A and B are shown apart, each in its own frame.
Chain A
Amino acid sequence: MKIFATLARGSLIAYTALFFAFIYIPLALIAVYSFNANPVNMMTWTGFTTEWYAQVLGFKTKISENALYLESTSQLVEALWNSLIIATSTTAIATVLGTAIAIAVYRFDFFGRRFYRTIMFMPMLMPDIVLGIALLIFFVNSGINLGLKTIIIGQCTFLISYVFIVVSARLAGMDRTLEHASADLGANEWTTFRKVVFPQLLPGVVGGALLAFIISMDDLVITYFIAGVDVTTLPMFIFAMLRRGIKPEINAIAVMMLTFSFVIASLGLYLRSRQK
């Protein structure tokens, strides 16, 4: 009996270890193989090199003499730049709008409140391909040229949802008696908002903004449909590369992107755990 209990416990722990291995070993593999010198088969180790990184970052390397690679590097930089412009704009818009609606729904009593609360989940739940083509049809029919502008608008539709959810979670957990205390002590509404509500809300707003930024940087499907022919974002660039055939520098790009989002996400989650 005791042996069985120990065995059951042991196998559960072993299973969980496997679970994490399944999640993280692929990520570790790509990090290791991004330093593999073999230009043909990336999974056959032939030696250590940092050339792929140098290549991606635009330094001159032996391989970069090849014109094809040079071209892709400049495209990569442009795609990255586009992604950053888009992510910054969408984050700003979605954070303001998402926070506004969260405050409206959680601090005001009005007809249709429940409706708003439900409808705000829809853009997030909507399969991205449906939203992507709906936006495409809409933009083309209304004569708006596809480009950065349409990507920013399109991404905002669902990013508002994410910000709304993060900020409302914060609002729902806030102690309203503090606001009453502030009003009781003679502060007007605006002062109460500035001095009491907003400082408490801020971690939620920052969290929502970080989430919006990361998701915007990573969005492929919706952007893919409404980007038009001239604009390419980072995920689209990699997607196109993958569809054409795999070249070793994708490894390096992938690792850099992973590192970037790991750092941002860890920072966000760390901040969230700190405020408790």
Chain B
Amino acid sequence: MRDSIVRLEKAAKAFATPEGQTVTALDAIDLDVSRNEFLTLLGPSGCGKTTLLQAISGFVQLDGGHILIDGEDMTDRPPYRRPVNTVFQNYALFPHMTVGENTGYALEVAGVAKAERTKRVGDALRMVGLEGMEGRKPRQLSGGQQQRVALARAIIARPKLLLLDEPLSALDKNLRQSMQIELKTLQHELGISFIFVTHDQQEALTMSDRVAVLSGGRIQQLDTPRAIYDQPKNSFVATFVGASNLFEGEAGSGQLVTKDGLSISHGRQGATGAATALIRPEQFFIAQSGDSAPGLDVDLEQIVFVGSTFELFGRTVTGRRVIAEIPAMRRSLVGEIEQSRRARLAYDPAAVHLLPAEAA
């Protein structure tokens, strides 16, 4: 067993809707988070990721199962007696307190002496780049600064685990990207585990050591960002993380044949039965005459220039939509096919990933 800081055993939670139905938010989830790990919970809204986070912080009482933090059973502990702190989505800074009072709150309630507190507040604020801002009120700060105060406030008591509930969603794009890097750096410096909740797959892939993709109250896949992207376990993960072209069909050795008669080559020898082939858009390249790589002939419907790449929207003869991403440096080729409105999208069979067939 790995050295785990948080451990969920068969954690279950269901909510009653006002209409009288029950919604399963957590469906007997097992999860281990290692020490010093950056784990991201990724999923669409309503997938249970926030419930999972709140179960760890103590705001949601489990219907069944257990939560252990650093080996101690926390299932019945109230939030204020768990060694866990949270950075809230809208920061939740106390408006009637200064930045310094906000930051030092956890120490104040823990009874830390004033002098010690002042020093640690200064340290924490320096860490997030807000040196000397103790006397300000939260509403005098920009969104990014408020975010940093929330962060300083949550780490000051040195929790065993920091929970971040979509903390970057209110920031604009540039700030969000720089904060992503800062968060990652901060996590290294502090040496504590972060559990980060987001619905932004880019964010999840950028920052995490491991990503847990959630849907319908279950963990669909828990893996490193690369594995999640390259070897998704099912079509939900494949479509939720990154753009994808999926081809369901009957797999044979090195070949998969779809119902509409397309044949997709793949690198897996000895595969049999129903399966789905995944080709990421950027794995396609435009085949030139004489290219021997397998490919798909498509009619191009639209070509969109997005700066670093061209996005090609095409249809196979059987009417299936295909998306491809061609690096912008190949623009001379794109110019050609823009004329003919037809192209052969080639791919490397070794890059094709086969998903097991799913019960519908």
Contact = CB atoms under 8 A, between A and B. Distances in A.
Contacts of B61: 1-2, 5
Nearest to A5: B61
Nearest to B63: A2
Contacts of B77: 1
Contacts of A5: 61
Nearest to A1: B76
Contacts of A2: 61
Contacts of B76: 1
B59 to A, nearest CB: 11
A49 B78 CA distance: 59
B76 to A, nearest CB: 5
Interface in B6-63: 61
A69 B82 CA distance: 74
A9 to B, nearest CB: 13
Tell me if A's interface is mostly helix, strand, loop or mixed.
Answer: helix
A214 B61 CA distance: 50
A2 B13 CA distance: 13
A34 to B, nearest CB: 41
Interface string A1-45: 110010000000000000000000000000000000000000000
Contacts of A1: 61, 76-78
Nearest to B62: A2
A5 B61 CA distance: 10
B29 to A, nearest CB: 19
A2 B61 CA distance: 7
Interface in B64-93: 76-78
Interface string A161-205: 000000000000000000000000000000000000000000000
A5 to B, nearest CB: 7
A223 to B, nearest CB: 44
B98 to A, nearest CB: 31
A105 B76 CA distance: 58
A160 B76 CA distance: 59
Interface in B298-332: none
A63 to B, nearest CB: 56
Nearest to B77: A1
B81 to A, nearest CB: 11
B60 to A, nearest CB: 11
B321 to A, nearest CB: 45
Contacts of B78: 1
Nearest to B58: A1
A4 to B, nearest CB: 9
A8 to B, nearest CB: 12
A193 to B, nearest CB: 40
A1 B78 CA distance: 7
A7 to B, nearest CB: 13
Interface string B257-282: 00000000000000000000000000
Nearest to B75: A1
Nearest to B61: A2
Nearest to B76: A1
B53 to A, nearest CB: 18
A155 B77 CA distance: 60
A2 B78 CA distance: 10
Interface string B132-165: 0000000000000000000000000000000000
Interface string B78-119: 100000000000000000000000000000000000000000
A215 to B, nearest CB: 37
A5 B62 CA distance: 13
A185 to B, nearest CB: 40
A2 B62 CA distance: 9
A3 to B, nearest CB: 10
Nearest to B78: A1
Nearest to A4: B78
A102 to B, nearest CB: 32
A118 to B, nearest CB: 26
A9 B78 CA distance: 16
B16 to A, nearest CB: 14
A1 B81 CA distance: 12
B26 to A, nearest CB: 16
A274 to B, nearest CB: 25
A1 B61 CA distance: 8
B80 to A, nearest CB: 12
A5 B76 CA distance: 12
A2 B75 CA distance: 11
B51 to A, nearest CB: 16
A1 B74 CA distance: 11
A2 B77 CA distance: 10
Give me the 6 closest cross-chain CB pairs, A-B, nearest first: A1-B76, A2-B61, A1-B61, A1-B78, A5-B61, A1-B77
6 contacts: A1-B61, A1-B76, A1-B77, A1-B78, A2-B61, A5-B61
